[in-house]
Structure 1
Amino acid sequence: MHNSNTFGRVSILICLLTISIGTRAQESLYDGCGTTKGCFGTPDSCVESKSCDIVTTYLYITDLDAYQFELYGNVSDPTTNYLAIGLSENSKMGDDSVVLCSTLNNEEHVDQYWTRGFPKSAKILDEPSLGILESTVAITDGAFYCSFVREAVTNIPNPYADETTTFDLKANLYHLLVAAGPFDENGAAKKHFEKRPSPEPIDLNEFSD
C-alpha cells in the first residue's frame, strides 16, 4: 500500500510541472529529454528541435512502482478534441491500451480507452480511471497539457469482447502511440487527425527518479 507522503510527493511534482508548462510553455517539457526522462513526439526528429506537434515524456517513479506520462500538443480546443498516448505490442492501431486527455463537456478527463483494429474504433472503459493514480490537465497559449501516473501493471478489459489483456510496463517493451483527434457530437472519440507510433518498442524503465 502506498503511503500518503508518497502520493503527496507525486501531487506536488505534477503541480510543479503544470506551473512550469504554464510559464515556459513547451520548452520546459523538453528539459531532460534523453538524460533524466524519455521523450517521443511527432513529427520525426521533433524532440531534438523542440518543435513537436505532440510530445510525450515518460519516467518510472520508484516509490510508487508506477510511471509518469506527460502529453503536450497543439490542440486549440480540448473540449472538442483530445490528446492520446497508447501502449501497443506493434506499431499499428488495434488491441491497444490508450489514455485520452481532454476537457470534454468542460470537465477534466484523463480516461482509459481500448482500441479495435478492424473496424477501427476506440471505446472508453467502464472504469475510465483504471490504473491511473494521479492526473492533471492544463491549457496554455492555445495548447493542451496532460500529466498522469499509471500503475506498472494493469489488467485492461476489452469492451468489444469478453477478455482481458495485461499490460506490464516493467516486464515488457511497448510501442508508444501519440495522437490527436476530435470527438463526435455524442462525445465519442473519432479517428485521429494526427498520429505517430514509435518505430521500435520502448523500454519505459530506462529513466527513473
Structure 2
Amino acid sequence: MIVNVSKFKIAQGAFADVFIDLHSRTAFKLFKSYKHPDLNGTGKEEIGETKTNAYRRKVFDTEIKAYNSIQASSLLKQFTPKYHGTLKVKVLDNCGKDISFQYLRRCCYKMDFIEGENEKIDLLDDKIIKILEKKIGFNLDVIKEAFIDMAVIYTSDSSVIYNENEFKIIDFATLDFSKFEPSKNSLGENPYDNLNI
C-alpha cells in the first residue's frame, strides 16, 4: 500500500506514526525506523541502527500478538478499535518523494479510527470513568481483567479514546518492553547487551 502523507492526518508517537484516513475512518500505525528524523526522545539512538530497529520490531510483534489474542474475546473486541491486520507500506512525502526508509515498512497495522478525547488509561479521571461506564455500559476493571485473561499483560501505558458513545483502548501488548529502555545505568552498562535482538 502507498501512503502519501499529504492525504492523511498524522499523529506522532514515540515508536510509531499513526496515519489517519478520515474518509475511510481507518488508521495505520507504522513504526519508525532508526532513520526517522523524530524518534521522540526514546533514547534508542544511542544503541545504533541495528538494535534500535530490532527493538522496535519486537515491540510491534508484541502489539500484533495482543491484537490477535483479543480477537477471541467479544468484550475486548467491543472496547478496542476494530483490527484489520498487518500490511507493508510505501511512504511518500508531500512532494511525492519516497521516505519509506524512515519506517519499518513491514511493521504496520490497520485499525478503525475513533474520534474523541485521547488520554492515558491510568491518568483518566475517576469521575469521567464513572460517567462513561454508566452511559456506555461497561466496567473498566472487568475489561482490564479480560486483557489479562487473554495474556495481554501490558496495559499500563495504554490510552483510551472516548466520546459520548464510544470507549476504545489502544496501545496494549503481550510484554512490557519499557523495562528494556536504553538508558545507561550507573555502571555504564547498556541494558540491550543481553537482549537477543
Larger radius of gyration: 2
| Structure 2 length-normalised TM | 0.30
Q: Which one has a larger percent strand, Structure 1 or Structure 2?
A: 1
Q: Which one has a larger percent helix, Structure 1 or Structure 2?
A: 2
